[in-house]
Amino acid sequence: MPEKRDKQSLSRRRFVQLAGAGAAVGLGAASWYKGPYESGLRASVFIAKAERYDGPLEDVLRRGLAELGWGSAQLRGKKVLLKPNLVEPDRSRGHVNTHPLLVRAVAETFLRLGAARVTVGEGAGHVRDSLWVLEESGLSEVLLEDRLPFVDLNTDAFFRVPNRGRLTRLKWLALPAALREADLIVSMPKLKTHHWTGVTLSMKNLFGLMPGNVYGWPKNVFHQEGIHESIVDICATVAPGLAIVDGIVGMEGDGPIMGTPRQAGVLVLGANLPAVDATCARLMGVDPRKIPHLRAASGWLGPIRESHIAQRGENWRRLRQHFQLLDFIPAQRGIRLAS
């Protein structure tokens, strides 16, 4: 079984049932930092070298999932929702969006491990025309060729659930109906720096789950409530089951759109999003303790301390790069990893 998955988050179906019944599932307001021991939480993260999108990605993914305890027994019959990062409709800038060939490889891997259905969903924050984003990013070709269904999470029907994070003032969160039907939600972000949050990884990628028809563009309500606080609220409420980070070509500098490509040559997998994002931050040469939403998640949603994350696959220290950080961007000042 995936390590500690049941202990670290509520079952998705059980949570929806409780929310629908009006049960009290809120955890109350969380402090920004839960302390050095992180409540005993531990997690595993797998890092693999992957230099090319046309390489043997399925083999890499299968190996990583096996290392994390995910196989046919865990995935057989499951309905999987893949949430890539589709920011801008421009296939010429492959460092902006999750690569279509990785989406294909992940979908094929899950289907061959027995998943009943794999759906791709996104609610782009900047562009309201999702079909345009799909076409210009190159993902529409993959979806058509592989017969993978797509759902526009911005316009999907929605249901309300209690906000389990409560770092913002929002008592309820509206979630797309597609989440109700999914047994497993997989966050598939790019490995990128960010203008407002320092880094944008699997937790921040969940902004794209939230319907624009409710929260505006670019999800303005969450910007007003506080981006870091909103990231934690969404992650706590949605409780995604897996992250697969596209770090083959990442982005450095003024991300998530205006930055420059960085060939990082990695894929990062894990069932605990804070642990995955903390590991990715270290791979980028960023101290995860200096990223507010990771600090807030520490000891509650997952561990971020290196000693509390069981390393699988490659050692992050051997693959670490110093992604460009810009001093004129406040969120990127002083976040460099010291050692």
- pLDDT for 271-328, tens place per residue? 999 999 999 999 999 999 999 999 999 999 999 999 999 999 999 999 999 999 999 9
Can you tell me whether residue 146 is helix, strand or coil? helix
Q: Is 3 inside a domain boundary? A: no
The DSSP output letter for 215 is: H
Give DSSP secondary structure letters for 291-324: SHHHHHHBTTTB--SGGGEEEEES-HHHH-----
Residue scoring higher pLDDT (131 or 176)? 176
Helices 139-146 and 100-112 meet at what angle, rounded to 10?
Answer: 30
Query: Is 9 a residue whose pLDDT tops 50?
Result: no
Give DSSP secondary structure letters for 92-118: T-TTTS--HHHHHHHHHHHHHTT-SEE
Q: Is 49 inside a domain boundary? A: yes
Q: Is 322 inside a domain boundary? A: yes
Strand partners, 198: 194
pLDDT band at 20 (very low <50, low <70, confident <90, very high): very low
- 190: CATH: 3.40.50
Q: How many other C-beta atoms lie within 10 A of the C-beta of residue 169?
A: 11
Rg of the chain, C-alpha, whole Å: 18
Q: Is 91 inside a domain boundary? A: yes
Q: Is 14 inside a domain boundary? A: no
pLDDT tens readout for residues 181-217: 999 999 999 999 999 999 999 999 999 999 999 999 8
Q: Is 263 inside a domain boundary? A: yes
Residue 324's pLDDT is: 98
What does the alpha-carbon distance between residue 122 and residue 175 come to, in Å, rounded to a whole number?
A: 12
Residue type, 46: F
Number of separate helices (H) and strands (E) present in the chain: 14, 12
Residue 27's pLDDT is: 31
Query: What sign does the CA torsion over 44, 47, 48, 51 have?
Result: positive
Q: What is the mean pLDDT of residues 249-272?
A: 96
Query: Is 18 a residue whose pLDDT tops 50?
Result: no
Q: What is the mean pLDDT of residues 107-130?
A: 92
Q: What is the mean pLDDT of residues 89-102?
A: 84
Strand partners, 175: 159
Q: Is 324 inside a domain boundary? A: yes
What does the alpha-carbon distance between residue 250 and residue 237 come to, in Å, rounded to a whole number?
A: 28
Query: Is 14 a residue whose pLDDT tops 80?
Result: no
Structural domain span for residue 137: 38-332
Torsion of CA 255, 260, 265, 271, to 10 degrees: 10
Q: Is 9 inside a domain boundary? A: no
Q: What is the mean pLDDT of residues 16-20?
A: 33
Residue 125's pLDDT is: 79
pLDDT tens readout for residues 34-92: 444 677 889 999 999 999 999 999 999 999 999 999 999 999 999 999 999 998 767 66
- Residues with Cβ within 8 Å of residue 253, at least 6 apart in sequence: 193, 259, 260, 323, 324, 325, 326
What does the alpha-carbon distance between residue 316 and residue 175 come to, in Å, rounded to a whole number?
A: 34
pLDDT band at 17 (very low <50, low <70, confident <90, very high): very low
What's the structural domain count of the chain?
1
Residue 25's pLDDT is: 27
pLDDT tens readout for residues 23-32: 222 233 334 4
Please say whether the beta carbons of 69 and 3 come within 8 A.
yes
